[in-house]
Amino acid sequence: MDIYISGASQISMQEPLSTGWFTQPVLYDASYRRSVEADYRQFIAPMAARRMGRLLKRAIAVSSDALRQAGLDMPDAIITGTGLGCIENTENFLSAMTFQGEELLQPTQFIHSTHNTIGAQVALHLHCHGYNSTFTHTGISFESALADACCQMQTGRIATALVGGHDEMTPGYFRLLEKTGYWKPDATQARLRLADTPGAMAGETSVAMVLRNVCSDTAMARIAGVSLLCKPDDRRLTEAVEELTQGTIPDALMTGRSGDCADARIYRHISQMLYRDRVPALWYKHVFGESYTASAFGILTAALCLQRQTVPAPWLLRPEDVGRLPQALQNILCITQFQNKVYALTFLKSC
Amino acid sequence: MEEDLMLNLKKQIIEVLNLEEISPEDIADDAPLFGEGLGLDSIDALELIVLMERNYGIKLSDPVQSKAIFQSLKTMADYIAANRTK
């Protein structure tokens, strides 16, 4: 069965609800940037929005915008990937527990401190009573949601799905990870590209994609397959890629390179092992930053490359690879790995 | 004194319920809090119960009594004035 990305929207450190970033992204020299907020009043009534934290507002905005682009009022399913859910509410709830002796806790903070609040609030907003599921699988949470949507479609249970990837980076959580060396203190674009020191640039993710089992006018790319792997060795990874691509050499590799030196070594090894480093490598975390669901931006960027049949310069890891890209882009293999433990492969083809 | 309590209560409700676009002057003393008027819901009721206990030391446990107390801002303020412990 063919599955198509028929609409997609994002809120990030780039211009919200826009694709202007695809050709002209704002490239920050910073360790930490929060998302640029959209005008949520066009999506959510003030009385409904008052209880929502910023991640919920972003999720509803990108979901509504992606559905509008796809020309779909109601999806058959809402499937969400998130590493930490509404961590801001969780922090507030835990702080209140600490400082108020576990008494007199505000119910709203508690309700929103669960991971599946995001998918639930989107469903409440859309009045969607269909299948609703949330995946919290560290760095492959978004691909896990994508894989579930594909399975549900292939078994004929659903024909459309709203798949989201949502994570926020609060100052508190940023500081905690900073202590472990997770972020690059001098995260300039040059240093991220060089990837010769530990650490990445922190970002936030809100991405929604509408999947359909038919190719409509709005289709951006076809999802040829999604594969999830746990601690694969080189042989297993190679087999999984060959199975997914059916031996096709992709036109480009969309890598999840974050700018961290250990992370870069892993992606260099993959590219060398699979294709002797001959396939142009693309990246996106220098534009959107690192978060548990940042890979959603990689898939979104790859889908836009296939839809518009171009790879703008900012996405090329090595600028000289521009001459190695084919005139007609047919497919892109997106590879995500998290701490060399879990891997996700997403193979996209042009429509 | 009663006016001070009423104004403080309005400010506290706006803060705890995150009523961003509402000012104390917009809340009529006698207007219903739930359904019409402010249009609050059951989760807001829980927030108000927490507010009463945390700010005024009043513990509400009888749902019938709570319904009468939360009828309007004035009924809330009257109950607080008569029963507050802090």
Record: contact B50-A50, CB cut-off 8 A: no
Nearest CA in chain B to A101: B54
Q: Which residues are bridge partners to A344 per DSSP?
A: A228, A336
Mean pLDDT of A179-199: 96
The confidence score (pLDDT) of residue A103 equals: 77
Asked if A96 reaches chain B (Cβ–Cβ under 8 Å), the answer is no
The confidence score (pLDDT) of residue B1 equals: 58
State percent of chain A over pLDDT 90.
91
A105 contact residues in B (CB cutoff 8 A): 50
Strands A252-255, A281-282: parallel, antiparallel or unpaired by DSSP? Answer: parallel
Inter-chain CB pairs, A–B, below 8 Å: 25
B21 contact residues in A (CB cutoff 8 A): 46
Asked if B57 reaches chain A (Cβ–Cβ under 8 Å), the answer is no
Record: contact A46-B17, CB cut-off 8 A: no
Confidence bin at A322 (pLDDT 50/70/90): very high
In the three-class reduction of DSSP (H, G, I as helix; E, B as strand; rest coil), residue A69 is classed as: helix
ipTM of the complex, rounded to two decimals? 0.74
Per-residue CA distances from A137 to A82, A143, A262, A321 (Å): 8, 9, 21, 33
A31-80 tens-digit pLDDT: 999 999 999 999 998 888 888 999 999 999 999 999 999 999 999 999 99
Q: Which fold has domain B2-83?
A: 1.10.1200
Nearest to A106 among B21, B39, B47 (CB): B47
Extents of the domains making up chain A = 3-221, 224-349
Nearest CA in chain A to B50: A104
In sign, the C-alpha dihedral spanning A90, A93, A97, A99 is positive
HSE (side-chain half, CA atoms, 13 Å) at A12: 34
A76-127 tens-digit pLDDT: 999 999 999 999 999 999 998 888 777 778 888 888 999 999 999 999 999 9
Q: Which fold has domain A224-349?
A: Peroxisomal Thiolase; Chain A, domain 1 (3.40.47)
The confidence score (pLDDT) of residue A186 equals: 87
The domains spanning A3-221 and A224-349 adopt the same CATH topology: yes
State percent of chain B over pLDDT 90.
50
Q: Concatenate the DSSP letters of all residues of B11-49 into one string.
A: HHHHHHTT-TT--GGGS-TTSBSBSSTT-B-HHHHHHHH
Strands A205-212, A160-167: parallel, antiparallel or unpaired by DSSP? Answer: antiparallel
Q: Are A342 and A230 in contact (CB under 8 A)?
A: yes
**Mutation target vs B (from A52, A102, A106; most B CBs, 10 A cutoff):** A106
Helix axes A234-245, A261-275, angle to 10 degrees: 60
Average pLDDT, chain A: 96
Closest CA to A307 of A349, A340, A341, A347: A349
Q: Which fold has domain A3-221?
A: Peroxisomal Thiolase; Chain A, domain 1 (3.40.47)
A40 contact residues in B (CB cutoff 8 A): none
Q: How many helices (H) and strands (E) does chain A have?
A: 12, 10
**Mutation target vs B (from A41, A44, A50; most B CBs, 10 A cutoff):** A50
The confidence score (pLDDT) of residue B18 equals: 86
Residue with the bigger pLDDT between A108 and A182: it is A182
Structure tokens at A75: 């999806």
pLDDT at B37 over 80: no
Q: Concatenate the DSSP letters of all residues of A175-236 into one string.
A: HHHHHTT-B-TT--HHHHHH--SS-B-B--EEEEEEEESS--TT--EEEEEEEEEES--HHH
A294-307 tens-digit pLDDT: 999 999 999 999 99
The residues, any chain, with a CB within 8 Å of residue A105's CB and separated by 6 or more, are A93, A96, A97, B50
A215-242 tens-digit pLDDT: 999 999 999 999 999 999 999 999 999 9
Closest CA to A348 of A162, A214, A222, A163: A222
Mean pLDDT of B61-72: 88
Asked if B21 reaches chain A (Cβ–Cβ under 8 Å), the answer is yes
Return d(Cα A22, Cα A337) in angstroms, integer: 23
B17 contact residues in A (CB cutoff 8 A): 50-51
Asked if A136 reaches chain B (Cβ–Cβ under 8 Å), the answer is no
Structure tokens at A191: 């240093």
Asked if A105 reaches chain B (Cβ–Cβ under 8 Å), the answer is yes
Nearest to B18 among A51, A105, A111 (CB): A51
Asked if A97 reaches chain B (Cβ–Cβ under 8 Å), the answer is no
Nearest CA in chain A to B15: A50
Q: Which residues are bridge partners to A79 per DSSP?
A: A133, A163
Record: contact A51-B43, CB cut-off 8 A: yes
The confidence score (pLDDT) of residue B42 equals: 87
Average pLDDT, chain B: 89
Task: Give how far the C-alpha of residue B84 lies from the chain's centroid of Cα atoms, to the nearest Å.
Answer: 13
Nearest CA in chain A to B39: A47
Asked if B28 reaches chain A (Cβ–Cβ under 8 Å), the answer is no
Residue with the bigger pLDDT between A208 and A51: it is A208
Nearest CA in chain B to A105: B50
Closest CA to A298 of A271, A264, A336: A336
Closest CA to A123 of A66, A84, A71, A76: A76
B19 contact residues in A (CB cutoff 8 A): 50
Return d(Cα A7, Cα A9) in angstroms, integer: 7
Confidence bin at B53 (pLDDT 50/70/90): very high
Query: Measured in Å, how far apart are chain B's first and last C-alpha atoms?
Result: 15
Asked if A46 reaches chain B (Cβ–Cβ under 8 Å), the answer is yes
In the three-class reduction of DSSP (H, G, I as helix; E, B as strand; rest coil), residue A34 is classed as: coil
Burial status of residue A332 (CB atoms within 10 A of its CB: 0-12, 13-18, 19 or more): buried
